[in-house]
Amino acid sequence: MTVGTVVLVCAAVALLVLLARRRLKFVSAFRDIPGPPSVPFFGNALQLNGSPSDFFRLLREWHLKFGETYQLWIGLRPFLSISDADQILQILSSPTHIHKSLEYDLLHPFIGTGLVTSAGSKWHGRRKLLTPTFHFNILEEFLPPIVRQSKILALMLKKEVAKESGFDITPYAKLAALDIIGNTAMGCEINSQENSDSDYVKALDEVTYIMQKRFITPWLKPNIIFNSTRLGKRLKHCINIIHTFTKKVIQDRKENLKSSTADQHVSDANKNEIYKKRPKALLDLLIDVSDNGKVLSDEDIQEEVDTFMFAGVDTSSTTLSWAMYVLGKHPEAQEQILTELDEKLPNFGDEELSVRDLSKLEYLDRAIREVLRLYPAVPLIGRQIYEPLTIGDLTIMPGTSVMINTYALHRSKKHFDSPDKFDPDRFLADNKHDRHPFAFLPFSAGPRNCIGQRFAIIVLKVAIATILKSYKIKSLDPEQDLGLVGEIVLRAEHGINITVEERTCILT
């Protein structure tokens, strides 16, 4: 063996020893944190890879067994599951620890590095740029399509009247959300409620399914493996359909904007009239601030539109579905919502609504928040830690993925009496002022809270009120039979089965 070879071997051994020591130090940092036993290389991945509902069921069982903070390993990656409000406050309110967990990187082929997936200066810039697009006056412009699509949803449900065996409300809610977000985000008619067979609708649905499966399947996460699978090839095909559609909408919208202002002979008054007639959409606002590509390129605009479609559709439809489930268990709450509508908005459905009108519906607002407490649309919030973080006696090492369990947080006896009980009055001002500020996080919190939360509440108020004015709702299944699945959003593995009984008339 030559001297050079000996030096190389010694250097390699020294490097391996150094890496082994670093790994040992890293792993030892978790020694005093409770958690389920794991096996080498796989960690807890084999336990978690059962049916879709097994993953979330185990997380809930481990929470009960090991407490509000526990460790688990997926492969060689450590995760900390946290549902302690004080610890969550320090993580989510930090301007440093704003990086989403590595799982969000899986979304890059679809939504790029838009507001949900970006970090650092790009995220700060986008957040500052996009925040004004959800101003009160702009939300007002979003109301007409929300009302119109909610009425279409009520009409679509008519075919399910008198079906005693019930039906799954989830597909209806998703198609309605897709039409609402399509109208408000892109300013176009997707018509998915009346044409669920369109390529765009089917592609978006399939992308969501594949992404959720990849989130909880460790061996599908490496691109080199995933891209060679059938699912990987299918995802690429579906993303291409969605991106082609979005690009065409952007180009058409830009051309319409140009044509509406091209005639220099049109008076200012007439120009204003043109703008009034053309409904504003998020896309229009993005084009306005893009400054002809100097601030946002077409690719940047596409990222944000696709992000809003992906995030908005799933969270809105999920919460609407859970609202129907919860209200279907509580007919007295349905009647209270209707009484409030009759008292405060007696002409609901017949006259134009305003955001101020909707703010009068205080009981409905509390009921929605209680639904979001019991069934948070996003049950797990992920953060990737890149700098040491000390919280009391807990030190979180760089390289750790933090998993904030909002489902467990929202059902904590520390913050809510009888936490499994539906009680909208928890959100009366007198009942919530002493509550921990981070005990209820339906839209996350801190610098990365949901930019569209006011929009989401408006959509839910209009849709729920429209459905309840048209139907009596009854839920059929106990919670233990639903098979809760906590992936990107919280869903029911076996669907949310309800029955609808027609009231005196359906809003049209």
Q: How far is CA 274 from CA 141, 165, 267, in A?
A: 15, 50, 11
Q: Residues 101-115: pLDDT tens digits?
A: 888 888 899 999 888
Q: Residues 217-243: pLDDT tens digits?
A: 778 888 999 999 999 999 999 999 999
Per-residue pLDDT band at 134 (split at 50, 70, 90): confident
Helices (H), 330-405: 331-344, 355-359, 362-374
Other C-beta atoms lying within 10 Å of the C-beta of residue 85 = 19
More confident residue, 48 or 483: 483
* Long-range residue pairs from 220-228, CB within 8 A, at least 24 positions apart, any chain: 221/103, 221/106
pLDDT at position 447 over 70: yes
Establish if 222 belongs to a structural domain.
Answer: no
pLDDT at position 121 over 90: no
The answer to which of 4-8, 159-163, 359-363, 387-391 has the lowest mean pLDDT is: 4-8
Per-residue pLDDT band at 7 (split at 50, 70, 90): low
Return d(Cα 197, Cα 218) in angstroms, integer.
32
Q: Residues 65-105: pLDDT tens digits?
A: 999 999 999 888 899 999 999 999 999 999 989 999 888 88
Return d(Cα 450, Cα 494) in angstroms, integer.
28
Q: How far is CA 153 from CA 76, 162, 295, 459, in A?
A: 46, 17, 38, 13
Residue whose structure tokens are 């509390």: 366
What letter would DSSP give residue 321? H
| Average pLDDT score over residue span 414-425 | 96
For residue 201, the Cα-to-chain-centroid distance in whole angstroms is 18
77-82 and 401-405 strand pairing: parallel
What was the pLDDT predicted at 351? 80
pLDDT at position 423 over 50: yes
| Average pLDDT score over residue span 237-256 | 90
| Average pLDDT score over residue span 344-356 | 90
Establish if 431 belongs to a structural domain.
Answer: yes
Return d(Cα 460, Cα 495) in angstroms, integer.
19
DSSP-derived secondary structure for 77-131: EEEEEE--HHHHHHHHT-SS--PBPGGGGGGHHHHTTSTTT--HHHHHHHHHHHG
Establish if 87 belongs to a structural domain.
Answer: yes
Q: What is the largest CA-CA distance in the chain?
A: 94
Establish if 372 belongs to a structural domain.
Answer: no
Q: Residues 210-220: pLDDT tens digits?
A: 887 887 777 88
Q: Residues 170-179: pLDDT tens digits?
A: 999 999 999 9
Establish if 414 belongs to a structural domain.
Answer: yes
Counted domains in the chain = 1
What was the pLDDT predicted at 455? 93
pLDDT at position 15 over 50: yes
Per-residue pLDDT band at 135 (split at 50, 70, 90): confident
Q: Evaluate whether 287 touches 257 at the Cβ level (below 8 Å).
A: yes
Residue 420: give its domain's CATH number. Answer: 3.30.43.20
What was the pLDDT predicted at 274? 39
What was the pLDDT predicted at 230? 95
Establish if 419 belongs to a structural domain.
Answer: yes
Residue-number span of the structural domain to which 423 is assigned: 38-97+378-440
Establish if 466 belongs to a structural domain.
Answer: no
Range with the largest mean pLDDT of 25-29, 207-211, 452-456: 452-456
Establish if 358 belongs to a structural domain.
Answer: no
The answer to which of 47-56, 65-74, 399-408, 467-476 has the lowest mean pLDDT is: 47-56
List the Cα angle 288/290/295 in 5-degree steps.
150
